[in-house]
């Protein structure tokens, strides 16, 4: 086929057919008796150098990207909002476009201040645990980063106060197990962001777990009256305020006197009746050799089969009249004209179910 334009070959160049195909040579090469093999060798060296250059550039770019991911992950940019209430709209209208998601609600509500309030602390921790179990992939990238920032503040608060250690350990363990499964499915886009960033976050979780395991609660230096100095009736009255059987077991390990009191059958009976229904209790009856019900053994057996009853000092509320989600002690727009019967307290699971539509 004739060339329609200028000859694309440089002046003095020609093509020679070899065993490997057509190769480009010059007149100087012919005059100097330069073989085709040497010319091919030069070209191979040039290609090899180009490949090495490309590989080094790709390695440099990958290293810079990993460094950038870690810098972005370590950047403490506050994504915390201070809104006391938000409007939850589940569909598009003429006034509003789109709908409110779980991630948007999690970003906009004031959870940063909630973890500082002792009445709301357990509520937020339980909400984070439920999100870690099943809802983490549904959050946006900003919401996922906000989730990790709030979790870091919670861990730091526990390390400073040395309180609520066990629920935070359970939260971190639940989150780590969930992330192990999600990171394996990274190709399915179940998490937002680079996998290096999530591996770094998992390393942070392991580091937080080690810090929590190393906590040593110091004995108070005050010389005032302690729990063991109170009468046995008052000690039992205090123990009745504990809603977790594991706290009773830990209390019984302090000294033999408290250990004998924590074995009181009435304490464990009230715990069983508080957390579980009569029908559930009847299905798991355990009788001792003396014919007495083993309430302590029944409690731990029921705990493995059924969820505990949840009770919080302060929760989020939802107004069915104006579709406002707000904290209990916060006024929302229709408080003055809206009867209290239109507002309902939301458990952490109810909060998540509110956005499952």
Sorted by sequence, the CB contacts under 8 Å of residue 287 that are 6+ apart come out as 293, 294
- Can you list the alpha helix ranges (DSSP code H) found in 92-194? 102-108, 111-114, 118-130, 141-161, 165-184
Look at 74-83, 136-145, 220-229, 316-325 and tell me which has the smallest mean pLDDT. Answer: 74-83
Sorted by sequence, the CB contacts under 8 Å of residue 252 that are 6+ apart come out as 258, 259, 261, 262, 263
The secondary structure of 243-277 as a DSSP string is --HHHHHHHHTS-HHHHHHTT-HHHHHHHHHHHS-
- Taking the C-alpha atoms of residue 230 and residue 349, their distance in angstroms, rounded to an integer, is 40
User: pLDDT exceeding 70 applies to what percent of the chain?
Assistant: 71
Position 305 pLDDT exceeds 50: yes
Three-class secondary structure of residue 214 per DSSP:
coil
- Taking the C-alpha atoms of residue 215 and residue 252, their distance in angstroms, rounded to an integer, is 20
- Taking the C-alpha atoms of residue 332 and residue 328, their distance in angstroms, rounded to an integer, is 10
pLDDT-based confidence at 68, cuts 50/70/90? low
Instruction: Dump strand ranges (E) for the chain.
Output: 13-18, 21-26, 85-87, 316-319, 324-327, 343-346
pLDDT higher at 53 or 277? 277
- Taking the C-alpha atoms of residue 158 and residue 164, their distance in angstroms, rounded to an integer, is 7
At residue 269, the pLDDT reads 92
- Taking the C-alpha atoms of residue 344 and residue 317, their distance in angstroms, rounded to an integer, is 5
Position 154 pLDDT exceeds 90: yes
| 98 secondary structure, DSSP code | S
At residue 39, the pLDDT reads 44
What is the pLDDT averaged over residues 21-45?
Answer: 55
What is the crossing angle of helices 118-130 and 165-184, to 10°? Answer: 20
Position 187 pLDDT exceeds 90: no
């Amino acid at each position: 086929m004739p060339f329609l334009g200028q000859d694309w070959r440089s002046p003095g160049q020609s093509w020679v057919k070899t065993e490997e195909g057509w190769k480009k040579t010059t007149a100087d090469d012919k005059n100097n008796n330069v073989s085709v093999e040497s010319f091919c060798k030069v070209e191979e060296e040039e290609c090899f150098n180009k490949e090495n250059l490309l590989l080094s550039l790709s390695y440099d770019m990958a290293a810079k990207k990993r460094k950038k991911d870690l810098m972005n992950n370590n950047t403490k940019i506050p994504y915390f909002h201070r809104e006391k209430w938000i409007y939850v709209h589940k569909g598009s209208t003429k006034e509003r476009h789109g709908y409110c998601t779980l991630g948007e609600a999690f970003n906009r509500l004031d959870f940063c201040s909630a973890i500082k309030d002792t009445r709301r602390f357990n509520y937020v921790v339980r909400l984070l645990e439920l999100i870690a179990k099943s809802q983490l992939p549904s959050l946006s990238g900003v919401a996922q980063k906000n989730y990790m920032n709030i979790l870091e503040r919670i861990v730091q608060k526990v390390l400073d106060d040395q309180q609520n250690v066990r629920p935070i350990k359970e939260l971190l363990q639940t989150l780590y197990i969930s992330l192990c499964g999600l990171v394996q499915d990274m190709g399915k886009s179940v998490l937002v962001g680079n996998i290096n960033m999530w591996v770094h976050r998992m390393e942070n979780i392991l580091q937080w777990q080690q810090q929590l395991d190393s906590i040593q609660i110091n004995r108070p230096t005050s010389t005032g009256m302690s729990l063991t100095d109170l009468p046995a009736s008052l000690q039992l009255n205090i123990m009745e305020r504990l809603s977790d059987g594991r706290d009773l077991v830990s209390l019984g390990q302090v000294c033999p006197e408290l250990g004998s009191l924590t074995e009181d059958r009435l304490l464990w009976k009230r715990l069983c009746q508080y957390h579980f229904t009569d029908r559930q209790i009847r299905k798991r009856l355990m009788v001792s050799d003396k014919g007495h019900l083993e309430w302590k053994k029944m409690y731990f057996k029921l705990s493995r089969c059924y969820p505990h009853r949840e009770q919080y000092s302060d929760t989020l509320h939802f107004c069915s009249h104006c579709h406002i989600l707000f904290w209990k002690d916060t006024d929302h727009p229709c408080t003055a004209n809206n009867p209290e019967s239109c507002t309902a307290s939301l458990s952490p699971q109810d909060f998540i179910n509110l956005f499952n539509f």
